[in-house]
Every structure is written in C-alpha cells, then in structure tokens.
C-alpha cells in the first residue's frame, strides 16, 4: 500500500526528481478486504470515500491511478504501528496505517488521489480519503483516542518523512506536526485534525513547504481519514470543511453508530 502516514493515511506524498524538474504524487492503494469478508462492507467504504463532486467546482479534479506499496514502505508502516501501540490501544490497521486486512480489520478502501489537472508539475493541491472498517465501534473509538494523543505525532511524522524520502523527495527532510481544531463529526471525540508540514530536501529546491492537513473520524465501526495537501500554504480551509461535511454525511447514512 502506498502510504505516507496513517493514510492518510493517509495516503500519498510527493516524489521529487533529483533534478527538481518534476513533482508527482504517488498512487493510492486499491480496495482490500479479507477473504470471505462481506462485500457490503467494501461497498459501504467505497460509498463513503471522497469523490470529485465533494471538492470545489473551481478546480477540475482528476484521479491518480491506484498503486501498491514497496517492501520498504510496508516496513515503515509496521514501525509506525509498533510506535502507536506504545501510545495507546490500537487495531492492527488504525486508520489505514498498515493496509493489512483480516481478523479485526474487515476492510480498507482508499479513494483515488484527486488533484488539480491544471497543475501538471506538482499535481497540487490534492485530496484523498481512506475508510477502514474494524470489528466494533469500540475498537474504532480506541484507535481515534490513540491518534488524538500527543505522543502519536512523533510516530506519524516519522512515517511521513521516511516515506517521502523513499518516494524520491530527497534526503534531509524535516517534518513537524501539531493538532488543530477539527469540524465535529461522528463518534469518539468528534474528530482529530493534525497538520503535518515538511521542509528541506527536495522541497527546499522549490523554496516552499508541503502542508498536509489530515482529519480522522469514526462513525460506528468505520474509521475515516481525509488528507488535504498543498505546497506553500494549507489547502483552502473552506473547501476542506465543505468536503469533510459531505463525506461524513455519507458515513452517517451508511453506518449506524
């Protein structure tokens, strides 16, 4: 699975060529579910995930193709999971950290990585999401509680920076992370918002920082991660809030608390 952090996650990361001539976002992974899993769980996850229609109509959003993670990235994911286990109780795939389904993890489904077609060089701004179903609402709330603890920031930032370096963003990258207010949706604490900022390495060639605003929510046994990335400044906050509301409205409709 191609991930930069709990995703996020989330998710993605910049690949900067050594010459600094081009930037490209790596692809997100395709849908996964353990053998014998209910197809309805995967269908619900797909229904919840971020869609181009959830984003601002002032940009023409296009989707990056799906991809797979390398062995090195998988090893980083396991390292991040081990780190999070020291912070608090977590499932085997909290908010998509490892991308591994089975047992307590019923499904892990990523959206496409939606990016601005006009920005062919950087493919930014961009947005994506990931939905993980665990075996109980209590497990989902526990994962969210752990992500919301201060000690988790070091785990997630280390994975983010290491993945960026693996994907070609250059060496010497520095990463910071902090909690910011999150629009309240779903269960648990109502959501967690972490802003990651990367600098140095290949980003220094562009004289800009990479901003990644990640949001973590639970709705029943579903864990929803959304990532909004931009270069030089944070992704438009109004667009972010509107997109989150649409995704979480579908989550509420699809999943009972």
Q: Considering only the top CATH level, what class is 15-254?
A: alpha beta
Q: Which helix (H) or strand (E) holds 210?
A: strand 210-219
CA angle 190, 94, 171 (to 5 degrees): 110
Instruction: Say what the pLDDT of residue 27 is.
Output: 32
Distance, CA of 105 to CA of 38 (rounded, Å): 12
pLDDT (tens digit, 9 = 90+) per residue, 173-230? 889 999 999 999 999 999 999 999 998 877 766 678 999 999 999 999 999 999 999 9
Beta bridge partners of 63: 114
pLDDT (tens digit, 9 = 90+) per residue, 106-142? 999 999 999 999 987 778 899 999 999 999 999 999 9
pTM over 0.85: yes
What is the residue whose two structure tokens read 């949706």? Answer: 185
> In 10 A of CB 20, how many CB atoms?
13
DSSP code of residue 92: S
Phi, psi of 216 (to 5 degrees): -125, 125
Q: Where are the domains of the chain?
A: 15-254
Determine the average pLDDT of the residues in 23-30.
35
């Amino acid at each position: 699975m191609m991930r930069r952090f709990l995703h996020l996650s989330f998710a993605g990361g910049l690949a900067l060529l050594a010459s600094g001539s081009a930037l490209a976002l790596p692809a997100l992974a395709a849908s996964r579910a353990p053998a014998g899993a209910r197809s309805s769980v995967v269908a619900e996850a797909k229904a919840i995930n971020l869609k181009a229609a959830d984003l601002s109509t002032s940009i023409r959003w296009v989707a990056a193709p799906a991809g797979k993670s390398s062995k090195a990235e998988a090893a980083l994911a396991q390292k991040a999971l081990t780190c999070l286990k020291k912070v608090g109780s977590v499932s085997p795939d909290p908010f998509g950290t490892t991308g591994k389904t089975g047992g307590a993890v019923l499904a892990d489904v990523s959206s496409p990585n939606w990016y601005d077609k006009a920005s062919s060089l950087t493919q930014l701004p961009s947005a994506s999401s990931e939905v993980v179903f665990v075996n109980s609402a209590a497990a989902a709330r526990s994962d969210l509680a752990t992500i919301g603890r201060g000690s988790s920031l070091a785990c997630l930032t280390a994975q983010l920076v290491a993945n960026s370096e693996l994907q070609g963003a250059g060496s010497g990258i520095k990463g910071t992370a902090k909690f910011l207010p999150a629009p309240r949706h779903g269960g648990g604490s109502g959501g967690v918002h972490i802003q990651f900022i990367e600098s140095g390495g290949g980003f220094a060639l562009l004289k800009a920082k990479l901003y990644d605003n990640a949001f973590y929510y639970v709705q029943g046994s579903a864990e929803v991660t959304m990532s909004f990335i931009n270069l030089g400044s944070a992704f438009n906050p109004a667009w972010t809030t509107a997109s989150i509301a649409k995704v979480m409205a579908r989550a509420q409709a699809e999943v009972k608390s």
